């Protein structure tokens, strides 16, 4: 069980809200992923934007994963957390000169480049520092990830990557930029992908683009296929994604040349299920048409439901064994916004002021998206080895 009776008893003495991390589940997930990737000698970089909690990063680094970063701050945090510079990749559609220079000085593995103009900028900045920047070209493959439109990144309409019709100009630029070293091609089609067949379509496109570059004299050392593997938000108990099936698809459908490396950038799949946000009921408001449970956590602590109407399983920890009456509540927070709602018509045991409420599967894009809006206190973290 994610929550033991002993844990719940101890939670009652803690100030809420907080994120609770099950480090054992995190460890099991990392071991499952690393073991499945090792079968095919695949390389996995952890997408730091999902969660950069210090203790979480420590476990991920110890598991031997690299770091996938989308800001200069994440690059710095990765290196400071002990990730090897040569295992850090830097993506992002809008890298600033300051961020690029800092990453050049750290001699990271490579920049995943998302525009032709960015190639020019990195070349100029690297040349000015007497360095050579390793780059992978992020290509927009126009593959539909069949996920929420706000987290789809691989269609022609999206801002990410270089479009296929610009690749001839890109290839010419690479040949004319002496401070750039081309290492491979990069893709990322979206997040929270649960239909693995989508990745078959991606493999077809990766094979096509790899061949395109090879036919023009480039050596493609790295095929970086991104990440996006989803989790089961509706059934979070003990769930670990099927990494074996995920990696097997790429083994079966990618045309990998000898000495060519396949890289992945997984985030949510590694950390999503290892945390829950625990909050306390401040007030219960019963009305003619609606019943409300008002929590001491809001969209400032967990943004996903307000941002993309994301689902999180909601549990009343104080009444786990309660029989009898259940009530449908809108579970809301204290923020002065109507969007500050975690779930509508959520069926829970009849709830009272002071009850502990858990929102499950918040290990990814939970703590990292917390804000100071309304001058809220910074949310704390509690770990399983502290409450056993």
Residue 12: φ, ψ to 5°:
-60, -20
What 3-state DSSP class applies to 29? helix
Average pLDDT over residues 89-107: 97
Q: Could you tell me where the beta strands, DSSP code E, fall in the chain? A: 18-21, 43-47, 66-69, 88-90, 110-113, 133-140, 162-163, 180-186, 222-224, 261-266, 275-286, 291-295, 314-316, 326-332, 341-349, 356-359, 380-383
pLDDT of residue 215: 97
Beta bridge partners of 71: none
pLDDT-derived band at 170 (thresholds 50, 70, 90) equals very high
Residue of 90, 39, 35 lying closest to 64 (CA atoms): 35
Q: Quote the radius of gyration of the chain (alpha carbons, Å).
A: 23
**Under a CB-based contact definition with an 8 Å cutoff, are residues 269 and 227 in contact?**
yes
Average pLDDT over residues 193-221: 95
The least confident of 101-115, 134-148, 298-312 is 134-148
pLDDT-derived band at 150 (thresholds 50, 70, 90) equals very low
DSSP annotation string for 181-232 = EEEEEE---BSSB--THHHHHHHHHHHHHHHHHHHTT----EEE----B---
278 pLDDT above the threshold of 80: yes
pLDDT-derived band at 154 (thresholds 50, 70, 90) equals very low
b/e per residue, 290-325, with b = 16+ CB within 10 A? ebebbbbbbbbbbbbbbeeebebbbbbbbbeeeeee
Residue of 13, 1, 50 lying closest to 386 (CA atoms): 13
pLDDT of residue 212: 96
pLDDT-derived band at 288 (thresholds 50, 70, 90) equals confident
- Tally of residues, the chain: 388
**Under a CB-based contact definition with an 8 Å cutoff, are residues 136 and 222 in contact?**
yes
What 3-state DSSP class applies to 77? helix
Average pLDDT over residues 8-37: 97
The least confident of 18-27, 70-79, 151-160, 203-212 is 151-160
Residue 152: DSSP 8-state: B
pLDDT of residue 149: 45
The least confident of 79-93, 148-162, 203-217, 352-366 is 148-162
Q: Which domains occur in the chain, in start order?
A: 5-18+273-387 (2.40.37.10), 23-272 (3.20.20.10)
In whole angstroms, give the CA distance from residue 192 to residue 169. 33
């Amino acid at each position: 069980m994610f929550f033991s009776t002993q844990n719940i008893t101890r939670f009652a003495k803690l100030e809420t809200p907080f994120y609770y991390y099950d480090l054992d589940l995190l460890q099991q997930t990392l071991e499952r992923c690393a073991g499945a990737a090792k079968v095919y000698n695949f390389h996995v970089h952890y997408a730091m934007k999902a969660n950069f909690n210090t203790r979480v990063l420590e476990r991920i680094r110890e598991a031997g994963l690299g770091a996938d970063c989308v800001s200069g701050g994440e690059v710095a945090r990765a290196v400071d957390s002990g990730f090897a510079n040569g295992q850090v990749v830097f993506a992002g559609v809008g890298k600033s000169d300051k961020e690029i220079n800092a990453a050049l000085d750290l001699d990271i593995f490579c920049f995943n480049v998302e525009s032709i103009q960015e190639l020019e900028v990195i070349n100029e900045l690297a040349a000015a520092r007497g360095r050579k920047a390793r780059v992978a070209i992020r290509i927009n493959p126009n593959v539909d990830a069949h996920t929420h439109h706000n987290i789809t990144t691989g269609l022609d309409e999206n801002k990410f990557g270089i479009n296929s019709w610009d690749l001839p100009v890109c290839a010419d630029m690479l040949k004319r930029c002496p401070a750039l070293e081309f290492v491979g091609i990069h893709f990322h089609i979206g997040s929270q992908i649960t239909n693995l067949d989508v990745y078959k379509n991606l493999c077809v496109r990766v094979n096509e683009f790899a061949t395109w570059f090879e036919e023009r004299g480039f050596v493609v050392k790295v095929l970086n296929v991104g990440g996006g593997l989803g989790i089961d938000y509706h059934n979070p108990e003990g769930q670990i994604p099927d990494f074996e099936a995920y990696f097997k698809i790429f083994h079966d459908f990618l045309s990998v040349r000898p000495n060519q490396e396949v890289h992945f950038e997984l985030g949510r799949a590694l950390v999503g299920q290892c945390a829950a946000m625990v909050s306390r009921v401040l007030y219960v408001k019963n009305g003619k048409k609606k019943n409300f449970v008002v929590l001491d956590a809001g969209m400032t602590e967990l943004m996903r439901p307000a941002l993309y109407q994301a689902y999180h399983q909601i549990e009343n920890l104080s009444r786990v064994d309660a029989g009898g009456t259940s009530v449908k509540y809108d579970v809301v927070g204290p923020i002065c916004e109507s969007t500050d709602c975690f779930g509508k018509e959520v069926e829970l045991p009849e709830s009272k002021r002071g009850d502990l409420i858990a929102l499950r599967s918040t290990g990814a894009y939970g703590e990292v998206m917390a804000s100071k809006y309304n001058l809220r206190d910074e949310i704390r973290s509690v770990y399983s080895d502290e409450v056993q």
